Structure formats: structure tokens, C-alpha cells
Structure 1
């Protein structure tokens, strides 16, 4: 399966990543990507940038090295109410909002707490995708959450870094999540979770998993640039005129 959008990448601004946006864009071009989402960690994460970093993304060009840039964020889920750490005023100007559990921000609790938290995140309508759900520190009811995501139009991330060992114990859980997403008709997004430019657009493990579970191509929003942009419009984001000619 061809994947042309990387929806989860970090720059030096995240505090524990090692490449610039220019370097990431160059790597994205070399990987053959059409679109690259810039998703630095939101302010609650230790070492993350101030909210001004996200509000000021409007100055970024829409293309670098021929790759379309999407102004985004990896927001932190901050409490069981499903709130995230970015204001609606800043979110209004972003193209893409990914939300994830992170141990320094949300202390791992029990399965039911995690499940209800994720349901609240989905039902808030404030996020487009749920990130690296395979993390075993945040167990949850896969069926309830994935069914809710499908019903509410929130996509489930399959994270290459999780599959490659960054979150020990994630791989078998990601397989179960992907299989259930296929069964329930939940759509999938693909993120490298790159913290170094060489990993941008690296979907080796993601592709292997999607092939293994025979994921239908039409459920993968990142398999086609037009499909991904149509998804963003569906989520209520503003149209991006500079990308109107994209066909791949």
C-alpha cells in the first residue's frame, strides 16, 4: 500500500527531537510524500514550546521541497474529561490535531478511566486523530473506543515508532487495534512519529501491519492526498487553496 502523508512528525521545537523543519521536509521529499504534518508536542509536555509556536504556524509556507505542509500539533490529553492542552483560539488556525496520552502529562490509571477518557476526547469534537493507542501503559476497551471513533469520524493512528520498539509491548496491541478498526470500519491514519529527519516517511512497520491484517485501502486516509484533504474538510477545517491541484 502506498502512503503519501505522514501525520505525526516532530522538530527541534519539541525539545527531544533533533531535526529542523527544513530537514524534515527534505526527508519527506526524498521519501516521496505529498503532504507532511508538523506536529510538535503541545505545551504541557516537558520541554515543549509555548502556545505561540503553534499560533504562529501561519507564517510557514505551504510547500517546502515540493512537499505540502500541514500546520498541526500533537496535543496532550490532560484529564479524564478528555480535555486537551491547546485553546480553541489556537486550534482554529491549525489544519490537523492529533491527541495522545503521554505519561508525564496524564498519569496512567486503570482501563475504565482510560476508556472513558478516550470516549470523552472523541465526543469533544476537538481532535482529528488519536495517537499511538498501542501503548500498554494506557490500556482501554478497544471495541468501545474504536467504534466511537468510527461513528464520530475520528481516525486511529497506526504509529511506526510504536511498532519499532519505542513503546515496549505496543506491537501486538497495534495488531489488535488495526484488526478491530478493519472490522468496525474505522479509518486509519499513519504516523512515523519521527523525532529525527531520517525517520520521516518511514512506514516500514506500518505497511507490514496493514498488509498482515489486509486493511482495505479505502480506510487509510493517508493513502491519497485528496482523500486526506477531504477528510480535513469533513472535520470542519478550513480549505487550503494551495493544495487544490493535488491529485496523488
Structure 2
């Protein structure tokens, strides 16, 4: 199995990552991708880029090293009402927005009820495209209930390669989350969450094995084919959809 794009990656604009935009694009090309999304951490995360970073995508080319580029953000969930750390005006101009819970921004455990409330609220946010690494045990939610809301609101649930190194407690939850997505027709993205070129190229095999084990349908994976990706961007009303579609298809 091989995806055509990685929709969750980071650059050294956050100093706990290690590569430039060009280096990540070159690594994506070497890995066999045709597109990638740069989704650096939004400002509430320690050492994240300044907020101006997320309004300056026009300073960058649509292609780097033969890779079609999407410029986005990994927004942080900040409270149990699903509030995010980027204003809607900035979220609306991103190519791809991942919403994630990180412990520096949401410390401690969440009850199942609180986690459900967060993701049900995020499901209603029109500017969020993807739900990031939500299999974490500290923030466990009702997968059946919430993936129905995700599917209804066209949110993509992420299967995250970084979880195999930094969120191992959530690995057993991934299968249950994927099964709920299958049963409820919820689309997924298969991403590395790479903070280095090496991780971009080596994080995916465990995810592919899990998908193959479950016979997960390709039509529910947004980055499995060029057609799926372009359709998803258009569905979310992203301004880059026509431009990227013209390049990819």
C-alpha cells in the first residue's frame, strides 16, 4: 500500500522539528508522493511559529521539488468547548487544517463526556478538515457516536504514524477507531506527522499493515488516490482545490 500524499508534516519553523520546506518536499518525492501538506503547530504550542506564519502561504510556491504543496496548520484544541488557537479568518485561508489535542494546551485527563463534547463541537467547525491523532488514551471518546458526527460534517479522521513512537498508549485504540470509521462511512487520512525527513519516509508501514489487516476500503482514504484528494479539497471548499486539481489530475 502507498499513499499519494502526506497531509500532516512539520518543518523547523517549530524548533522541535528538523527540516526546511524544501527538504521535506525532497523527502516526500523520494518516498514516492506527489503532494504533501505542511501543517506546522499553531501558536499555543510551545515553540510554534508566530501567527504571521499562517497568513503568509502566498510567499511560497505551489510546487517544490516536484511535489504539490498544501500550506496549512495543526490547530490546538484549547478547551472542552472545542475552541482552537487560530481565529476563523486565518483558518479559512489555510489549504488544510488539522485539529489536535496536545497536553501542553489541554493538560491532564479528559472524561469520556468531555472528550465527546470537544470533538462534537470541532465537527461543527467549518474550517477544520482533519482530526489529528485522536486515538490518545488520555482523551478517549465514544468512537461510534463521534465518527457519525465527523462523517455527517465531512471531517477526516487521521491515522497517525507518529503515534507509534510518541503516543504508544493509543495504538490499541486505532483499530477500534478505524472500525468505527468503516461502519459509519467516515473518511480517514493516513499521515506521518513527520518532524523530520527520516520520519516522513519511515513512519507509514505500521499504518499500512493495520489498514490491510482490516481490509479498510480505499474509497474512504482521502490520500489514497489523486482523485480522492482533489474531491476532498473541493468538498471542504478550499480555495486551492481547483489549482491543485489542475496540477494533480
TM bucket normalised to smaller: over 0.9
Secondary structure at the residue paired with 1:11? coil
Q: In 2, distance between residues paired with 1:91 and 1:140?
A: 25
1:217-232 aligned within 5 A: 217-232=218-233
Secondary structure at the residue paired with 2:37? strand
CA drift of 1:147 comes to 1.0
CA drift of 1:155 comes to 0.7
Q: In 2, distance between residues paired with 1:43 and 1:94?
A: 15
Q: Does 1:128 align with 2:125?
A: no
TM-score, normalising length: structure 1: 0.95
Q: Does 1:166 align with 2:145?
A: no
Match of 1:113 in 2: 114
Q: Over residues 197-217 of structure 1, what are the superposed CA-to-partner deviations in whole Å (9 max), with x where a residue is unaligned?
A: 112254111111111111001
Which region of structure 1 is more displaced relative to structure 2, 84-93 or 96-105?
A: 84-93
1:7-26 aligned within 5 A: 7-26=7-26
Cα separation, partners in 2 of 1:135 and 1:33, compared to 1, 3 Å: same
TM-score, normalising length: structure 2: 0.95
Q: Over residues 139-173 of structure 1, what are the superposed CA-to-partner deviations in whole Å (9 max), with x where a residue is unaligned?
A: 111111111101111010000111x2310211110
Which region of structure 1 is more displaced relative to structure 2, 164-173 or 51-60?
A: 164-173
Q: Over residues 56-109 of structure 1, what are the superposed CA-to-partner deviations in whole Å (9 max), with x where a residue is unaligned?
A: 121110111100000110000111111111112212221100000000001232
Contact 1:68 1:243 in 2 (8 A): no
Instruction: Structure 1: give runs of 5+ residues left out of the alignment.
Output: none
Secondary structure at the residue paired with 2:141? coil
Contact 2:234 2:242 in 1 (8 A): no
Figure out how many residues of one structure are paired with residues of the other and give that number. Answer: 246
Q: In 1, distance between residues paired with 2:244 and 2:144?
A: 38
Q: In 1, distance between residues paired with 2:92 and 2:186?
A: 25
Secondary structure at the residue paired with 1:12? coil
Match of 1:86 in 2: 86
Q: Does 1:43 align with 2:43?
A: yes
Q: Over residues 158-201 of structure 1, what are the superposed CA-to-partner deviations in whole Å (9 max), with x where a residue is unaligned?
A: 00111x23102111101110111111111111110101111225
Which region of structure 1 is more displaced relative to structure 2, 219-228 or 236-245?
A: 236-245
Secondary structure at the residue paired with 2:162? helix
Instruction: Structure 2: give runs of 5+ residues left out of the alignment.
Output: none
Contact 2:92 2:127 in 1 (8 A): no
RMSD: 1.2
1:99-110 aligned within 5 A: 99-107=99-107, 108-110=109-111
CA drift of 1:243 comes to 4.0
CA drift of 1:44 comes to 0.4
Match of 1:241 in 2: 243
